[in-house]
A and B are shown apart, each in its own frame.
Chain A
């Protein structure tokens, strides 16, 4: 696709702003409808900080809600990403914070402890930062016990960051070496083991747990680690492969403005690229991902009252959308200096504003606006107000927004050109 500024050929059907899980899902879903999809990748965000346990809503909340099946569109995205498991009845994973927790799904490198048979789960005893097999086994409960095995090959590996150690296991030879050590340890052990939990270390390019399990002859997998570990990097690899199969174009740039341009939208990036699109999907991420920024009134630092009221949370690009939280606009704080800090932040507020604020999706449309003119703005993921900041929830929203955006764009492109639009090559799902 020609991406030269302002040229006629740079009109895409759909431009997706953001490359996290919501943006990736939107791009893949849109690319099944139209071949003309551009995803703007402004760098790593919250999805790259994900730890591998994936939920539709916050997992404590999900205990109160009946489990809902994923939509067909969302299932197709999970399948396209190759590397995530979403069992119908959910799963259970262990965390390095000492919890056994339920999840709606998991990165395929993680061990689903709910699927294991009777017996003990071995917690690999090795020198890794934040990993204490004895304490973790005690915290996870009776079914867990330390499992003696040496699986660090080089002396630097007791200090390497999780992601770097995980990258070493992308190599089949090294993974084979690890499997051999585990098999040796199993042969020595008297306990009947039903599964083995390892620190986050099983691959960066792809999850290697399945290959390791087959080689060892016992389910093996990681525990949930900290943000910035291998699970986030595996997401990036899975996303890039899926986007490339879907033939969506990825442009490495940060969007700075979205503005109306006749019947289409004009997206400008920070480095001056201008894209025209019939539909735009906002999937910029929220406060963590960088789509929303906390910008308190400067007057707070001064002695004078500010000249006008300014919401403390703002979108990081200029666009004709409204920010809000809990169904209300953010533009009505109780004081000229903005919201009271107690409303914004923990520990004063349980449901703090920094987690709820986002684009009010009500103002956007999935078909036509009130006056009957198609609009073509969509939003998905953490940037949406009041949405649970959860991975699988963002994926579902993205899948829906991408499909809607592509349909809306196709119908308007058809009207604009008077020609039958070409349907793009659907990805094999």
Chain B
């Protein structure tokens, strides 16, 4: 039961980011912070 639940949970997670997207996201955040002073 518990394992089923965990498996369901794990499968339901979306792949939000790939490695390059993660890097782009960090760069975008840094740039916006530098120019606007706030996070996007």
The interface of chain A, by Cβ under 8 A from chain B, is 46, 49, 51, 53, 58-60, 95-97, 99, 101, 224, 226-227, 286-288, 290, 293-296, 300-301, 303, 305, 335-337, 340-341, 344-347, 350, 352, 354-355, 389
Complex Cα distance, B26 from A90, in Å, reads 26
Closest to B19 in A: A294
Expressed in whole angstroms, the minimum distance between the Cβ of A275 and any Cβ of chain B is 27
**A contact residues around B22 at 8 Å (CB):** 287, 294, 344-345, 354
Closest to A58 in B: B33
**A contact residues around B13 at 8 Å (CB):** 300, 335, 337, 340-341
**A contact residues around B17 at 8 Å (CB):** 294, 296, 341, 344-345
Closest 7 interchain pairs by CB? Answer: A341-B16, A294-B22, A97-B35, A287-B26, A337-B10, A95-B35, A60-B37
5 additional A-B residue pairs with CB within 8 Å, beyond A227-B30, A305-B6, A355-B26 = A97-B36, A224-B35, A288-B26, A294-B23, A389-B26
Within 8 A of A (CB), among B1-40: 6-7, 9-11, 13-19, 22-23, 25-27, 29-31, 33-40
Closest to A51 in B: B34
Secondary structure class of chain B's binding surface, majority of residues = helix
Complex Cα distance, B26 from A169, in Å, reads 32
A-B contact pairs, 21 of them (CB 8 A): A46-B27, A49-B27, A49-B30, A51-B31, A53-B34, A58-B37, A60-B38, A95-B36, A96-B35, A99-B36, A287-B23, A294-B18, A296-B18, A335-B9, A335-B10, A336-B10, A344-B16, A344-B22, A346-B25, A346-B39, A354-B26
Complex Cα distance, B22 from A293, in Å, reads 8
Contact B39 A389 (CB under 8 A): no
Contact of B27 among A227, A305, A346, A350 (CB under 8 A): A227
**B contact residues around A53 at 8 Å (CB):** 34
Closest to A52 in B: B34
Complex Cα distance, B12 from A232, in Å, reads 42
Contact A347 B23 (CB under 8 A): no
**A contact residues around B16 at 8 Å (CB):** 341, 344-345
Contact A288 B27 (CB under 8 A): yes
The interface of chain B, by Cβ under 8 A from chain A, is 6-7, 9-11, 13-19, 22-23, 25-27, 29-31, 33-40
Contact of B25 among A60, A293, A301, A345 (CB under 8 A): A345
Contact of B34 among A95, A286, A340 (CB under 8 A): A95
Expressed in whole angstroms, the minimum distance between the Cβ of A291 and any Cβ of chain B is 11
Contact B35 A51 (CB under 8 A): yes
Contact B7 A305 (CB under 8 A): yes
Expressed in whole angstroms, the minimum distance between the Cβ of B14 and any Cβ of chain A is 6
**B contact residues around A46 at 8 Å (CB):** 27, 30
**A contact residues around B36 at 8 Å (CB):** 95, 97, 99
Complex Cα distance, B32 from A96, in Å, reads 11
**A contact residues around B37 at 8 Å (CB):** 58-60, 99, 101
**A contact residues around B6 at 8 Å (CB):** 305, 335-336
Expressed in whole angstroms, the minimum distance between the Cβ of B4 and any Cβ of chain A is 11
Complex Cα distance, B30 from A51, in Å, reads 10
Closest to B17 in A: A345
Closest to B6 in A: A336
**A contact residues around B14 at 8 Å (CB):** 341
Contact A288 B11 (CB under 8 A): no
**B contact residues around A341 at 8 Å (CB):** 13-17
Task: Give the residue among A49, A293, A296, A340 with the most B Cβ atoms within 10 A.
Answer: A296
Expressed in whole angstroms, the minimum distance between the Cβ of A170 and any Cβ of chain B is 24
Expressed in whole angstroms, the minimum distance between the Cβ of A248 and any Cβ of chain B is 27
Closest to A353 in B: B22
Contact A355 B10 (CB under 8 A): no
Contact A346 B29 (CB under 8 A): yes
**B contact residues around A347 at 8 Å (CB):** 40
Contact of A355 among B9, B15, B18, B29 (CB under 8 A): B29
**A contact residues around B38 at 8 Å (CB):** 60
**A contact residues around B7 at 8 Å (CB):** 305
Contact A296 B26 (CB under 8 A): no
